[in-house]
């Protein structure tokens, strides 16, 4: 078995020789993938490369056919989304799991409500915490956005921000962003990228998936290129310029080879 690229005290999660098929279609063909502590990894590659499938194995949506997962040095199985969350892995999907008709504070605490010993909701406490998340964690300054705002009234970028803020609040060690800027305007995208920088500043880790290198490059520490179910390349940001990375991806798409 090929050794994972790095497995030491600095490794947060390590996926080793992961294989996944859907019926006869082999989507992941023995992928080694790691995320370090306080590292932002850009997971890039063409549509259909297997990026979402790979991270869905981490979030407990799919089970691998083969391979092992290590989290903080321990071998684990992630049999459900609940288990993944319990471990400290949170996902921010494009089709965000926010409840549109509900207020901000209800959304932050959905499924993890603060209750007293009789099981009653501590509304004031949840509102106060939400206010803190908005102003301190996420840096929302607009007076128009309050704890009582209905999520539907937020822009796409703000919604992603709430989802990231929520993950940070619940102390996720690893936040996974799968195409978080899809369908967003440029200004909105910039906001989301700022939120990703926030994850880094808070000492946490992230996997940032996008097929747009121009968004991934500035915020990631390292890049992993997935190509038709295989890792085609790994680069530290220090090793490669944005233009070189783009050029490699274009060549890969055209010729099926990196160089």
CA distance 159 to 108: 11
Beta strands in 9-101 (DSSP E): 11-22, 25-36, 40-44, 66-71, 74-76, 89-93
Give 244's contacts (C-beta < 8 A, 6+ positions apart): none
Among 6, 48, 124, 152, binds ligand ADP (CB under 6 A): 48
| Contact (CB, 8 A) for 227 and 252 | yes
Q: Which of 10, 22, 121, 241 binds ligand ADP (CB under 6 A)?
A: 22
What is residue 159's three-state secondary structure? Answer: helix
Measured CA to CA, the distance from residue 24 to residue 72 in angstroms comes to: 33
Tell me the CB-side half-sphere exposure of residue 99, using CA atoms within 13 A. 11
Contact 192, 162 (CB under 8 A): no
Taking CB under 6 A as the rule, does residue 45 contact ligand ADP? yes
Q: In the chain, what is the greatest distance between 2 CA atoms, to the nearest angstrom? A: 64
- The region of 10-18, 40-48, 88-96, 113-121 touching ligand ADP under the rule CB under 6 A is 40-48
> 53 vs 160, which CB is nearer to ligand ADP?
53
214 binds, among Mg ion, ligand ADP, none (CB under 5 to 8 A by kind): none
Nearer to Mg ion, 52 or 160 (CB): 52
Q: Which does 53 bind (CB under 5 to 8 A by kind): Mg ion, ligand ADP, none?
A: ligand ADP
Residues 12-51 within binding reach of Mg ion (CB under 5 A): 51
Structure tokens belonging to residue 105: 């504070």
In whole angstroms, the minimum distance from the beta carbon of 228 to Mg ion comes to 14
At its nearest, how many Å lie between ligand ADP and the CB of residue 62? Answer: 7
In the complex, the smallest distance separating the C-beta of residue 95 from Mg ion, rounded to whole angstroms, is 11
Q: Which is nearer to ligand ADP, 104 or 226 (CB)?
A: 226
Interacting residues with ligand ADP between 196 and 225 (CB under 6 A): none
Residues numbered 49 to 78 that lie near ligand ADP (CB under 6 A) are 49-53
Alpha-carbon gap, residue 133 to 139, rounded angstroms:
8
The 3-state DSSP class for residue 198 equals: helix
Q: Which C-beta is closer to Mg ion: that of 12 or that of 209?
A: 209
Residue nearer to Mg ion on the CB measure, 27 or 240: 27
Q: Which does 49 bind (CB under 5 to 8 A by kind): ligand ADP, Mg ion, none?
A: ligand ADP
In angstroms, the CA 147 to CA 28 distance is 42
**Minimal distance, residue 55 CB to ligand ADP, in Å:** 8
> Could you say which of 52, 59, 147, 160 contacts Mg ion (CB under 5 A)?
52
Q: Tell me how long the chain is.
A: 259
CA pair distance 145, 78, nearest whole angstrom: 36
For binding to ligand ADP (CB under 6 A), which residues are involved? 22, 25, 27, 45, 47-53
For Mg ion, the binding residues (CB under 5 A) are 51-52
């Amino acid at each position: 078995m090929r050794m994972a690229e790095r497995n030491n005290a600095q490794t947060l999660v390590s996926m080793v020789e992961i294989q996944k098929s859907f019926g006869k279609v082999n989507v992941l063909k023995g992928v080694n993938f790691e995320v370090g502590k306080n590292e932002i990894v850009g997971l890039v590659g063409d549509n259909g490369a297997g990026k979402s499938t790979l991270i869905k194995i981490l979030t407990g949506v799919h089970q691998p056919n083969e391979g092992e997962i290590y989290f903080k040095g321990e071998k684990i199985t992630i049999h459900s989304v609940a288990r993944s969350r319990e471990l400290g892995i949170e996902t921010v999907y494009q089709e965000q799991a926010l409840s549109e008709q509900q207020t901000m504070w209800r959304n932050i605490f959905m499924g993890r409500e603060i209750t007293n010993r009789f099981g009653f909701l501590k509304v004031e406490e949840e509102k106060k915490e939400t206010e803190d998340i908005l102003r301190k964690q996420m840096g929302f300054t607009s007076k128009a956005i309050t704890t009582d705002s209905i999520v539907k009234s937020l822009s796409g970028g703000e919604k992603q921000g709430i989802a990231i803020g929520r993950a940070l609040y619940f102390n996720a060690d690893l936040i996974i962003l799968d195409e978080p800027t899809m369908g967003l305007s440029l200004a909105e995208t910039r906001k989301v990228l700022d939120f990703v920088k926030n994850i880094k500043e808070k000492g946490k880790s992230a996997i940032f998936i996008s097929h747009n290198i121009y968004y991934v490059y500035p915020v990631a520490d390292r890049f992993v290129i997935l190509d038709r179910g295989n890792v085609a390349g790994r680069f530290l940001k220090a090793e490669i310029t944005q233009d070189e990375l783009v050029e490699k991806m274009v060549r890969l798409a055209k010729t099926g080879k990196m160089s």
